[in-house]
C-alpha cells in the first residue's frame, strides 16, 4: 500500500485536476472492444484479450482511478480535441485504453528535445541561414565534425541532423539495424565474429558462397511489419495499464526540459564502493546520463551505441549510467524474447536486489562507464523520467541541453552524440571568446 501511496504522491500535477470519479465499470464499458465509438482502429486491437472482467481487471481499474483521480472517460472528455496538451501520462493512459500497442509515436513516445540545431550551428559560425556549413569553416575539432557530418560529404546540411522517421537516412539505418539484429542471436547489440560466421553458415547451407537471394531470404524471411512484437511479447491492455501505474513502461513524471537545471542526485556505484553526486561533477565537462535496465531488450541491444560514444569522448566528457526500474520483469509485462535469452528477473523489491540485477546487466553489456544504481523508490529515475531508458546531455553549468525521447524508440545514441558535440563546441567557443565575451587575440587562441 505504501508503494501505491508513493506513486500517487508523484502525481500531484495530475491530481490537481481531480474531480468526482466515475464508477469503475464506466471505464470498462467505454474501453471494451465491443464499443467501437471509443475504440481505436489499430490493427492490433483484435489481439487484446476478451473483456470478461476478472479480479485483476478490477485491480487495474482501481489503480488507474486512484492514480489519476479520474476515470479514462472523464480524462478523454477533459482533453477532447486537445489531447496534445494533456500530461504525458494522461496521453499514454488514453492511448492504452484505446488499444495502443506501444508503437513509435503512440502515447508518450515522442521526439527528442535539444538546445542545438543547424540554425544554432550556423549562428556560431556567423554563416548564412539555410546554407550548408562547409567542413573547412567548422570551428571545432575534426573528430567532432565527423559525428555531425553524418553522411561524410564534407558539409553539414539538414539531412545530417534529421532524426525524424521521415529522414531517408533514419529509414535506411532502421533497415540496417533490423538486419543487424538477425545476425545477433544473443541480442546483446554486438555481432561477434562467431555470430557473423554462424550467420554465413546458415545462409550458405553447406555451400562455400552465397548468392544475393540467399542474403535476401536470410534477412527478410519471417520478418513482420515494422514495430510488431515477437511471439509471446504482445501486451494485453491490462498488462499495459498495470505497467503504466507501476512505472515500468515509463515514469509517470516527465523529467526536466531543455534549459532546466538538471535534478541533483547522489547514488552509489554498482559495487557499493563509491557514491557519485551530480553537483560534484559540474563546472568541468559536459555530462551524459544514460538510464536503462536489464529486462528492456531494446535497451540491451542499443546500449553498445552509447559505449561507442563513451570510447570516442571519454577524455572530454563525463559519462554516467543510472540503473532504473525493470521494464519487463517476469511479474509484469513479461517478454518471451527475454526468457529465451535467460533474462528472467522479478521486479526488485529491495535495493540489494536491484544492485544484484544491475550487476548482471553490467556484465552482460560489458558496461565500462560508471554505473550508479537508483534507490528502490526510483527517486532519480522519476526525477529524470528515465524509465525504461533515456539519454540526457547536461552542460558543465548543470543545464539540460539534450533530452532524448522516451526509450525504446527515442533512445538514439547517434542523436545524443551530435548534441554532445555541439555542447563541446559551445564550451570551446566560449573559452576562445574569454571571460569578457570578446574574441581573444589570435596569438592566445588554442591551436
Ligand atoms: Ca553531410
Ligand atoms: Ca551478439
Distance 358 CA to ligand 2 centre (A): 19
Instruction: Please list the residues that pair with 319 across neighbouring strands.
Output: 288
Residues 47 and 195 in one domain: no
Domain assignment present for residue 443? The answer is no
Residues 425 and 292 in one domain: yes
Distance 189 CA to ligand 2 centre (A): 6
Domain assignment present for residue 119? The answer is no
Reading phi first (left if > 0) and then psi (alpha if -120 to 50, else beta), residue 396 is in alpha
Residues 270 and 322 in one domain: yes
Distance 53 CA to ligand 1 centre (A): 56
Domain assignment present for residue 419? The answer is yes
Of 97, 112, 134, which residue is a domain's last?
Answer: 97
Residues 187 and 75 in one domain: no
Return the half-sphere exposure (C-beta side, CA atoms, 13 A cut-off) of residue 55: 0
pLDDT of amino acid 47: 44
Q: Which three cell numbers stand for residue 307?
A: 559505449
How many domains would you assign to the chain?
Answer: 3
**Which pLDDT tens digit goes with each residue over 22-56?**
233 333 333 333 333 333 333 333 344 455 677 87
Q: Which three cell numbers stand for residue 212?
A: 544475393
Residues 254 and 366 in one domain: yes
Q: Is the peptide bond before 388 cis (omega within 30 degrees of 0)?
A: yes
**Which pLDDT tens digit goes with each residue over 256-292?**
999 999 999 999 999 999 999 999 999 999 999 999 9
- State the ligand closest to the CA atom of 161: 1
Query: Whole-angstrom Cα distance, residue 55 to residue 151?
Result: 55
pLDDT of amino acid 433: 87
Return the half-sphere exposure (C-beta side, CA atoms, 13 A cut-off) of residue 171: 5
Per-residue pLDDT band at 422 (split at 50, 70, 90): very high
pLDDT of amino acid 234: 85
Angle at 43 between CA 40 and CA 45, to 5 degrees: 55
CB distance 422 to 286 below 8 Å: no
Going 53 to 59 to 60 to 61, the CA torsion angle's sign is positive
Distance 148 CA to ligand 1 centre (A): 8
Per-residue pLDDT band at 224 (split at 50, 70, 90): low
Residues in the chain: 447
- State the ligand closest to the CA atom of 153: 1
Predicted confidence (pLDDT) at residue 125 exceeds the cutoff of 90: yes
- State the ligand closest to the CA atom of 193: 2
Containing domain of residue 290, as a range? 248-433
Amino acid at each position: 500500500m505504501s508503494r501505491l501511496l508513493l506513486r500517487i504522491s508523484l502525481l500531484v500535477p495530475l491530481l490537481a485536476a481531480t474531480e468526482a470519479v466515475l464508477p469503475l465499470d464506466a471505464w470498462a464499458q467505454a474501453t471494451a472492444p465491443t464499443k467501437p465509438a471509443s475504440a481505436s482502429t489499430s490493427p492490433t486491437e483484435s489481439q487484446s484479450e476478451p473483456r470478461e472482467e476478472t479480479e485483476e481487471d478490477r485491480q487495474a481499474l482501481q489503480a488507474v482511478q486512484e492514480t489519476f483521480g479520474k476515470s479514462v472517460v472523464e480524462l478523454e472528455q477533459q482533453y477532447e480535441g486537445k489531447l496534445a496538451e494533456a500530461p504525458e501520462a494522461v496521453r499514454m493512459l488514453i492511448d492504452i485504453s484505446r488499444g495502443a500497442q506501444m508503437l513509435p509515436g503512440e502515447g508518450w513516445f515522442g521526439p527528442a528535445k535539444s538546445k542545438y540545431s543547424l540554425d544554432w550551428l550556423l549562428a556560431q559560425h556567423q554563416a548564412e541561414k539555410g546554407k550548408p556549413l562547409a567542413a573547412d569553416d567548422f570551428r571545432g575539432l575534426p573528430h567532432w565534425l565527423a559525428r555531425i557530418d553524418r553522411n561524410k560529404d564534407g558539409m553539414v546540411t539538414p539531412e545530417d541532423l534529421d532524426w525524424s522517421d521521415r529522414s531517408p537516412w533514419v529509414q535506411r539505418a532502421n533497415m540496417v539495424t533490423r538486419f543487424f539484429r538477425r545476425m545477433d542471436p544473443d541480442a546483446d547489440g554486438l555481432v561477434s565474429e562467431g555470430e557473423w560466421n554462424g550467420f554465413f553458415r546458415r545462409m550458405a547451407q553447406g555451400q562455400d558462397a552465397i548468392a544475393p537471394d540467399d542474403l535476401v531470404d536470410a534477412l527478410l524471411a519471417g520478418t513482420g511489419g515494422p514495430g510488431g512484437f515477437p511471439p509471446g511479447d504482445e501486451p494485453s491492455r491490462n498488462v499495459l495499464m498495470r505497467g503504466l501505474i507501476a512505472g515500468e513502461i515509463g515514469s509517470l513524471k516527465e523529467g526536466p526540459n531543455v534549459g532546466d537545471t538538471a535534478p541533483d542526485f547522489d547514488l552509489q556505484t554498482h559495487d557499493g564502493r563509491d557514491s557519485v553526486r551530480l553537483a560534484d561533477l559540474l563546472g568541468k565537462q559536459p555530462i551524459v546520463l544514460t538510464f536503462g535496465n536489464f529486462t528492456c531488450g531494446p535497451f540491451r541491444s542499443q546500449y553498445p551505441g552509447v559505449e561507442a560514444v563513451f570510447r570516442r569522448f571519454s577524455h572530454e566528457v563525463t559519462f554516467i549510467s543510472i540503473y532504473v526500474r525493470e521494464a519487463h520483469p517476469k511479474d509484469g509485462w513479461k517478454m518471451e524474447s527475454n526468457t529465451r535469452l535467460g533474462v528472467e528477473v522479478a521486479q526488485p523489491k529491495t535495493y540489494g536486489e536491484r544492485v544484484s540485477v544491475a550487476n548482471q546487466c553490467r556484465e552482460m553489456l560489458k558496461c565500462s562507464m560508471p554505473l550508479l544504481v537508483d534507490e528502490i523508490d526510483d527517486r532519480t529515475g522519476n526525477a529524470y523520467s528515465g524509465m525504461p531508458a533515456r539519454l540526457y546531455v547536461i552542460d558543465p553549468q548543470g543545464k539540460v541541453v539534450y533530452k532524448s525521447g522516451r526509450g525504446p524508440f527515442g533512445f538514439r545514441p547517434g542523436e545524443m552524440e551530435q548534441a554532445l558535440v555541439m555542447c563541446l563546441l559551445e564550451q570551446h567557443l566560449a573559452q576562445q571568446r574569454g571571460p569578457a565575451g570578446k574574441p581573444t587575440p589570435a596569438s592566445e587562441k588554442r591551436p
